[in-house]
């Protein structure tokens, strides 16, 4: 994670490009610290979240945990620990007893970290290029505004097996019918489709993504900080009133369950046999990764 401030703008950048900016506990902890740092700085009027490399975020770094290696994606040993949300919960040994509340305690910590982007009083703009999938969408959808490159992909393929969106923001951002359209299939939206569906506010051509994001950031940064904070609090109240916290509780518990169904175990076993990436390819192959606009039945 990198952090910079200039001209009233705090820039938080996911910086694990060799791993698709995959989410680890270290990344989650750093994100929380950076968001808090920005919110306590009176010179920061807007935060922009982005990612280095080929895409914004490919989700949780589960390659090693799904393959049974007992390590975080960043190499940190985790075998036998009780505080590991990426291995102990996600990679439960079926020969033992699964405790759903231990699982929930672990994953809910990540939800609280992602939701700092939503709860923080400073506006957050998320800039997406390349790909934003699986757990990466938690980061994007907890942000206030999304600017997504026209050719980028955003979606939650783990809805097909081995996952439930823990922050549960899809229905609140898209409405129930469109959220179901994506979660019933695991399909992704292009940036262009994301604008059409109301998920993003702009989908510039890839080469114009930085420029268009900067225009928005500079415009927000002109506003008085107290006005920005009031406007964000005002709009967020409607989502709280709709039951966001309750939905997230259910979504986080469901995430644990999806990893412990017969299909979840079969997926994990296949990942241990052929590798996580190959298991994902096999999971997605029947769908052809067609987005809603290209699906022909």
Name the residue with higher pLDDT: 133 or 68.
133
Token duo for residue 190: 């292009």
Tell me, what's the pLDDT at 180?
Answer: 98
**pLDDT at residue 194 tops 50:** yes
Distant-in-sequence, close-in-space partners of 33: CB < 8 Å, separation ≥ 6 = none
2: β partners: 13
Handedness of CA 13, 19, 20, 26 (dihedral sign): negative
Could you tell me the fold of the domain covering 2-287?
2-enoyl-CoA Hydratase; Chain A, domain 1 (3.90.226)
pTM higher than 0.95, yes or no?
no
Q: How far apart are the C-alpha atoms of 67 and 79, rounded to whole Å?
A: 13
Q: Per-domain residue ranges for the chain? A: 2-287
How deeply is 19 buried, as exposed, middle or buried, from its count of CB atoms within 10 A (0-12, 13-18, 19+)? middle
Per DSSP, the three-state class of 41 is: coil
**pLDDT at residue 69 tops 50:** no
């Amino acid at each position: 994670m990198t952090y910079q401030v200039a001209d009233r703008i705090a820039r938080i950048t996911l910086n694990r490009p060799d791993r698709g900016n995959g989410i680890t506990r270290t990344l989650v902890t750093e994100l929380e610290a950076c968001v808090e740092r920005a919110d306590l700085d009176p010179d920061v009027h807007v935060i922009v979240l982005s990612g280095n490399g080929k895409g914004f975020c490919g989700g949780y770094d589960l390659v090693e945990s799904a393959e049974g290696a007992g390590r975080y994606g960043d190499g940190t040993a985790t075998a036998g620990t009780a505080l590991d949300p990426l291995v102990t919960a996600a990679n439960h040994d079926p020969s033992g007893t699964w405790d759903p509340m231990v699982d929930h305690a672990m994953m809910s910590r990540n939800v609280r970290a992602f939701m700092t982007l939503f709860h923080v009083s400073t506006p957050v703009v998320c800039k997406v290029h390349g790909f934003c999938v699986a757990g990466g969408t938690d980061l994007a959808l907890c942000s206030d505004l999304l600017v997504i490159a026209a050719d980028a992909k955003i979606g939650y393929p783990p809805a097909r097996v081995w996952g439930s969106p823990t922050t549960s923001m899809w229905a609140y951002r898209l409405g129930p019918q469109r959220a179901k359209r994506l979660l019933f299939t695991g399909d992704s939206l292009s940036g262009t489709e994301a604008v059409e569906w109301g998920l993003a506010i702009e989908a510039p051509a890839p080469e114009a993504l930085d420029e268009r994001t900067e225009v928005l950031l500079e415009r927000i940064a002109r506003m008085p900080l107290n006005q920005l904070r009031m406007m964000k609090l005002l709009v967020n109240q409607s989502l709280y009133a709709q039951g966001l916290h309750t939905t997230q509780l259910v979504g986080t518990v469901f995430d644990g369950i999806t990893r412990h169904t017969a299909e979840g175990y079969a997926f994990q076993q296949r990942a241990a046999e052929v590798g996580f990436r190959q298991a994902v390819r096999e999971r997605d192959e029947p769908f052809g990764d067609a987005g809603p606009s290209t699906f022909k039945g």
